Chains A and B, each alone.
Chain A
Amino acid sequence: MRSDRSPLSLRAAAIGGLLFLHLPILLIFLYAFTTEERSFQFPPPGLTTRWFATAWFDRPDIWPPLYLSLKVAAISTSIALVLGTLVAAAMTRTAFFGRDQISLLILLPIALPGVITGMALRSAFGIMDIPFSTWTIVLGHATFCIVIVFNNAVARMRRLSGGIMEASADLGANGFQTLRYILLPNLGSALLAGGMLAFALSFDEVIVTTFTAGQQSTLPIWMLNELVRPRQRPVTNVVAIVVFAATFFPILAAYYLTRGGSETAGMGK
């Protein structure tokens, strides 16, 4: 007979595993308040909030990378939203020749290690003599963001019953009216979720970016430089908190937007 209560050891191991995944991140917060700026001494010798002011007022080197990261993430997300939705629409409609190959092609940029995508783009820029710019970064980011939007959109479209599209056509709507009044409102929250995840991914990306940025610095590249050659370590923690928040809240929001699925129209049957 199998009991429905879990063995204590299993529960302990599972909860221990979750704690292992989360506790390290809390240290980032603690060290943003330490008074010791040269080492990672634990416990911190004293606590202070002055690093937040320092980061804001005395470190002008933080701002340009922040702007660049926001700009790249915004452009990449917009491109990925359009392209990802288009593929998702094509893939859910019909079975066609080459469908499996296309889904592999979409998946490839995140299935292969980032260093390959980065090096591949770098080789292409080298061969074609393309100078590094914001757009070379965007090329890389949009490519791996497409799959994020695609996954969210395709999941929602599969749950969407084909019946409501037919009903719309029966009531005299043409394809564009169906898109405007039926499809987009139903896809809305899934696209928002996909867009936020893509934004978070792009904002935080460092591996592909180091190959496509040249001398430019995005916020993660700035952080990487600070990790290799530290100066005012707690300031790095303050920036790390900002980066963490910029990825944490979109994920949480995306989860609540796509949870369940009972909100999707056409699920009645």
Chain B
Amino acid sequence: MTQSAILPAKGPADRLTALFWRHPRVLLALLLTPPLLWLGVVYLGSLAALLLQSFYSIDEFSGVVRQEFTLKTYGELLRPSNFDILVRTVSMAAAVTLACAVLAFPIAYYAARYARGHWKAAFYLGVMLPLWSSYLVKVYAWKLILAKEGILGWAAAQTHTSWIIDGLLSIPGLEGSSLSTSPLGTFMVFVYIWLPYMILPMQAALERVPNSMLEASADLGATRAQTFRTVILPLALPGVIAGSIFTFSLTLGDYIIPQIIGNSANFIGMAVYQLQGTAGNIPLAAAFAVVPILIMLVYLGLARRMGAFDAL
């Protein structure tokens, strides 16, 4: 006499499990629908709204948004005063990215190749904490540092080096009564705030450079400098580019830092903020906001070609 296996009673949960097992796509669809609805409707929907608004224009007399397709608003971006804003923002982003790459390299290199055990953890936390800690608090800290009567001015006076700061502040284009009202101050704060975003991908790329390659390079008679130039740098480049995506993009869009520190020259983010707020010119604000998207799309395309996404 054969006896069938003793199986527990089947409930609806078991039937659903069987359905998911036979048709994995059903489960996949169930898992993906809520998040994709959110991101699709809220985020992509908003981006579409942004694009739509940028093709509207504002009636110069009544100040009412005219909801008809026009390229007039984009044309306004080319006005000298607006075009200056674009050029200023892009050059600042490029300068900040370069400075971050230079400053980040020793930290990333040391953390990747020499730091071990506790030091490794300390370096990791040492970069993560400033990256995550409050953005506004960090900007505020620099306001304290760069103010005329602040710690930097005090240190310069104590060491009789105030002439360096005064000299820098008298360079045309960098003028200001103190570093906190000079474009140089804006630049320094940008570099400080975005530096951790450069260190992390750079360190990840450097950690993947095999030691054996450095040994081979040394065996073949390369000096440290040659090894650095011909082995380490090309292999670390994807990491540098990955980091530069962050520093470049974040600088392009920021409007808090130039508002608090610097000579209140306009940047893209500030223009967007002012136009949508007090000026009420949403179409032009939207057109301004589309510019960083276009720049970043080109930038991401180039970065992808250079293999930067493998380093993220």
A interface residue numbers (CB < 8 A to B)? 1-2, 4-6, 10-11, 13-14, 17-18, 20-22, 24-25, 27-28, 31, 39-43, 79, 82-84, 86-87, 89-90, 93-94, 96, 102, 105-106, 108-109, 111-117, 119-124, 126-128, 139, 142-143, 146, 172, 174-177, 197, 200-201, 204, 206-207, 210-211, 220, 223-224, 227-228, 236-237, 240, 243-244, 246-248, 251-252, 255
Contact = CB atoms under 8 A, between A and B. Distances in A.
A34 B91 CA distance: 38
A93 B28 contact: yes
Contact of A14 (B43, B109, B256): B109
A123 B52 contact: yes
Contacts of B46: 117, 120-121, 123-124
A248 B14 CA distance: 44
A94 B39 contact: no
A127 B53 contact: yes
A197 to B, nearest CB: 7
A126 B64 CA distance: 12
Given A87-B31, A111-B249, A123-B286, A2 B214 contact: yes
B173 interface: no
A224 B256 contact: yes
B147 A40 contact: yes
A192 to B, nearest CB: 16
B136 A206 contact: yes
Given A109-B43, A174-B14, A102 B36 contact: yes
Given A102-B36, A123-B282, A108 B126 contact: no
Interface centre among A10, A17, A96, A246 (most CB of B within 10 A): A17
A18 B110 CA distance: 11
Q: 9 nearest interchain CB pairs?
A: A113-B253, A14-B110, A13-B106, A120-B46, A124-B49, A175-B17, A174-B17, A90-B31, A17-B107
Given A87-B31, A227-B136, 15 more contacts: A10-B109, A14-B111, A21-B196, A43-B154, A87-B32, A102-B36, A113-B253, A114-B254, A126-B282, A175-B17, A176-B16, A207-B255, A220-B136, A223-B137, A240-B134
A10 B110 contact: yes
Interface string B289-302: 10011001000000
Nearest to B65: A126
A22 B34 contact: no
Contacts of A255: 124-125, 128
Interface stretch (B72-80, B159-167, B233-241, B266-274): B266-274
A27 B49 CA distance: 42
B127 interface: yes
Contacts of B252: 113
Given A82-B34, A94-B28, A143 B43 contact: yes
Nearest to B67: A127
Given A40-B144, A123-B52, A244-B133, A146 B39 contact: yes
A176 B14 CA distance: 8
Given A14-B111, A175-B16, A89 B31 contact: yes
B286 A204 contact: no
Interface in B124-179: 124-130, 132-145, 147, 149-151, 153-154
A159 B293 CA distance: 34
Contacts of A111: 245, 249, 296
A193 B306 CA distance: 33
B307 interface: no
A241 to B, nearest CB: 8
Nearest to B15: A174
B145 to A, nearest CB: 6
B106 A10 contact: yes
B110 A240 contact: no
Contact of A40 (B127, B129, B143, B259): B143
A228 B16 contact: no
B293 A112 contact: yes
20 contacts: A10-B110, A11-B110, A14-B111, A17-B103, A18-B107, A28-B141, A86-B34, A86-B35, A90-B31, A113-B250, A115-B255, A115-B273, A123-B282, A123-B286, A143-B39, A223-B137, A243-B136, A243-B137, A251-B128, A251-B133
A26 B113 CA distance: 29
A116 B292 contact: yes
B8 interface: yes
A198 B252 CA distance: 24
A261 to B, nearest CB: 14
B232 to A, nearest CB: 12
Interface in B100-126: 103-104, 106-107, 109-111, 113-114, 123-126
Contact of A87 (B35, B125, B273): B35
Nearest to B249: A113
A31 B53 contact: no
A247 B133 contact: yes
Contact of A6 (B40, B110, B269): B110
A131 to B, nearest CB: 16
A157 B10 CA distance: 29
B31 A228 contact: no
